Amino acid sequence: MLEIAQLTYRIGGRTLLDAASAFVPAGHRVGLVGRNGSGKSTLLRLILGEIEGDGGDLRVPRDTTVGMLAQEAPGGAATPLDTVLDADRRRAALLAEAETAHDPHRIAEIQAQLVDMAAHAAPARAATILAGLGFDQTAQGQELAGFSGGWRMRVALAAQLFATPDLLLLDEPTNHLDFEAAAWLEGYLKRYPKTLILVSHDRDFLNEVADGILHLEQGKLTFYRGNYDRFQRTRNERLAHVQALAAKREAERKHIQTFIDRFRAKATKARQAQSRIKALARLEPIEIAARDAAVQFHFPDPEELSPPLIVLDRASVGYDGPPVLQRLDLRVDPDDRIALLGANGNGKSTLVRLLAGRLPARSGARVAPSKLRVGYFAQHQIEELYATETAYQHLARLMPTARVDQVRALLGRFGFGQTRADVAVASLSGGEKARLTLALITHDAPHLLVLDEPTNHLDLEAREALVEGLADYGGAVILVTHDRHLVELIADRLWLVADGTVQPFDGDIDDYRRLIAAAPREAPAPARADKPAREKPARPATSISTIRKAARDAEALVAKLTAETQALDRDLADPATYRNGGDRVAKLNRRKAEADRALAAAEARWLALAQQVEDATRAS
């Protein structure tokens, strides 16, 4: 389907693609992965033909239709349904011609072609796609101008899905979706009948959708069969094999060099020495691709505050008009890790703004200690960074009494070394801007982190680093995210934002996926419109059995991590480990440090859950 041969592309003195080659088979669903800034979006534009390479070739079969999700949202007086139907240009052209044609033979040809392409079923298919992305029948007939940018981007996505090009290119399609729409899209793309190339930083999404991974690293492309987890295993095995070969080759070179140095001057060994010199010249070293520096997040731990951190007492919150949310009776404690569930437009962002103290309660009360510090992350903050200032200048402004080395040390905890800390924000990647924003909101060691879609600009490695950073963080966390992997690894409580209020959700993320799969979708609210609250029976609080199961799972994780740390200790104590140089030792030490951190976090969670079981048992 797609053949990339020795493709080179340079921009601004930087080589993004360096004689890269790969082949994507027809009918495959391929995840295109690589670090932020590696050139993934550029490669999609090259495939689409929007830009041209500096060398090499990029080939698709003749008459192949290629579609890509537009970067700009559609608008105007057109409806979502009309916009999606117009995406099938051949159908739209035939229908337009049918209205003006007068030749009976041509009219018959047009009708035959419309029948062949099942044009009569197109409106129902378009409506089904829009419904899956959150538009009910009423919303499908409203003007696009009445929707927010995020909802209009859903229409652009629906249009590409409806058009069903032979080669579909999607660049982060879940960024504008809530958990519900992302789950629907996941199922739809698993059944996509043609070829798909998907850029996504959502590990679970790639695992479910992709049957191949195209990895872009240091200008080169490598194709792996299987999903993302299989790619990681295969790549790690490949890297370990190459490293082992390189070590063996280097040992062989040293052995030959030792012989040459010892016998070069001896007449009886001169011929052998010359032979070894030629052999050494033929023995080229095996190059190991340099790995990108690991991204890291180290959130400073706050001093302790007595619980609760926040209490909402019969609170309501909103903007102009009726409240968005009301009857809020919620509590946040210092060790809470809470994820918010619910469709876009239900009020998740409104709730986190209330919890973060950015929006006052309209009735009832929000009660919090005077010393409470909250770190609040929202997407708009990334856009509000000063383009001409550096990361260092941003942070130094918030820390006027700190020494230069203290400011730089804090930036280093978020992956900004000496060089990147002094680069203007305008030249930073989206992921770097997100990391800078996280550094800014946590510089004073907040007691509570409120994170509204923190992963949208982070690549897969950075998302894993965020999971590790949050696991080590000593404060409370409230998450709004469609990243299932992040929710599963960080959250131990779920709140459902729906029907104008918020209730604890009694179940895990898989239970919620089953719930939304069975429930009808609600229409999106027009831009800036507030949804009136509706009555809903309260869900029961988390059951003792659910807490016990979580405690058992935590205990099992502790056992697993304990066994892993013990095995690493044995390896590090074995003299044989140190015979082949320091690479393996360094790797083992890194793994040991990671395992120790994970074990400490798992033990803390297990103890907390055990206490909850004990408290719940006494209360019952």
Residues 16, 65 contacting (CB under 8 angstroms): no
pLDDT tens column, 215-249: 998 899 999 999 988 888 888 777 776 667 667 66
Residue 418 has a pLDDT of 84
Query: CA 34 from chain center: how many Å?
Result: 12
Predicted confidence (pLDDT) at residue 351 exceeds the cutoff of 50:
yes
- Cβ contact 161:129 at 8 Å: yes
Tokens of 401: 């009494």
Strand order in the sheet with 14-24: 14-24, 2-11, 55-59
Dig out the tokens for 275 from the structure.
């032979």
Residue 472's contacts (CB-CB under 8 Å, 6 or more residues apart) are: 298, 299, 597, 601
CATH topology (fold) of 310-537: Rossmann fold (3.40.50)
As given in the structure block, the two tokens for residue 559 are 């056992």
Residue at token pair 């057109």: 78
- 317 close to 361: Cβ distance less than 8 angstroms: yes
DSSP 481: -
Query: 128-182: per-residue pLDDT in tens?
Result: 999 999 888 888 999 998 888 888 999 999 999 999 999 999 998 988 888 888 8
**Tens digits of per-residue pLDDT, 483-531?**
888 998 899 899 999 999 999 998 888 888 888 777 655 555 544 333 3
Band (pLDDT 50/70/90 cuts) for residue 407 is very high
Buried b (16+ CB within 10 A) or exposed e, 228-257: bebbbeeeeeeeeeebeebbeeeeeeeebe
pLDDT per residue as tens digits for the range 544-593: 666 677 777 777 787 887 788 777 767 766 666 656 655 676 677 667 76
pLDDT for position 507 = 87
Q: Which residue has the tokens 């700009």?
A: 72
Which residues are CB-contacts of 607 (< 8 A; sequence separation ≥ 6)? none
Q: Which phi and psi (to 5°) does residue 67 adopt?
A: -125, 145
Residue 371 has pLDDT above 90, yes or no: yes
Contacts of 423 (CB under 8 A, 6+ apart): 390, 391
Burial class (CB in 10 A: 0-12, 13-18, 19+), 37: middle
Length of the chain: 620
User: Which structure tokens are listed for 495?
Assistant: 């709140």
Q: In a 3-state reduction of DSSP, which class is residue 218?
A: coil
Amino acid identity at 503: Q
On the question of pLDDT at 540 being above 80, the answer is no
Separation of alpha carbons 86 and 159, rounded Å: 8
Domain boundaries, the chain: 2-231, 310-537, 551-619
**Does the pLDDT at position 615 exceed 70?**
no
Mean pLDDT of 421-445: 91
Q: What residue type is 619 in one-letter code?
A: A
Region 419-424: what's the mean pLDDT?
91
Closest of 145, 161, 129 to residue 73, by C-alpha: 145
Tell me which residue has tokens 């996941």. Answer: 186
Query: Can 2-231 and 310-537 be said to share one CATH topology?
Result: yes
Tokens of 240: 């370990």
Between CA 19 and CA 219 the distance in angstroms is 8
Are 482 and 462 in contact by the 8 Å Cβ rule? The answer is no
pLDDT at 456: 83
Determine what percent of the chain is predicted with pLDDT higher than 70.
80
pLDDT digit string (tens) for 291-329? 455 678 889 999 999 999 999 999 999 988 899 999 999
**Pairwise CA distance, residues 495 & 512, whole Å:** 11
d(CA 459, CA 216): 13
* 263 confidence band (pLDDT: 50, 70, 90): low
Q: 105: buried, middle or exposed (CB in 10 Å: 19+, 13-18, 0-12)?
A: exposed
375 pLDDT above the threshold of 90: yes
Please tell me the least confidently modeled range out of 98-107, 355-364, 588-597.
588-597
Provide mean pLDDT across the span 186-214. 92
Burial class of residue 298, CB neighbours in 10 A (0-12, 13-18, 19+): middle
Buried b (16+ CB within 10 A) or exposed e, 307-329: ebbbbbeebbbbeeeebbbbbbe
Backbone angles phi, psi at 173, to 5 degrees: -70, -20
Q: Return the axis-axis angle of helices 583-619 and 544-573, rounded to nearest 10°.
A: 160
Distance, CA of 272 to chain centre: 58
Task: Give the CA count within 13 Å in the CB-facing half-sphere of 328.
Answer: 36
pLDDT of residue 589: 66
584 CB-side CA count, 13 A: 18
Mean pLDDT of 59-70: 88
CATH architecture of 2-231: 3-Layer(aba) Sandwich (3.40)
- Please state, in angstroms and rounded to a whole number, the distance separating the CA atoms of residues 239 and 82: 50
What is the Cα–Cα distance from 21 to 222, expressed in whole angstroms?
Answer: 8
Q: Is the pLDDT of residue 377 over 50?
A: yes
**Residue-averaged pLDDT of the chain:** 83
Cis peptide before 308 (omega within 30 of 0): yes
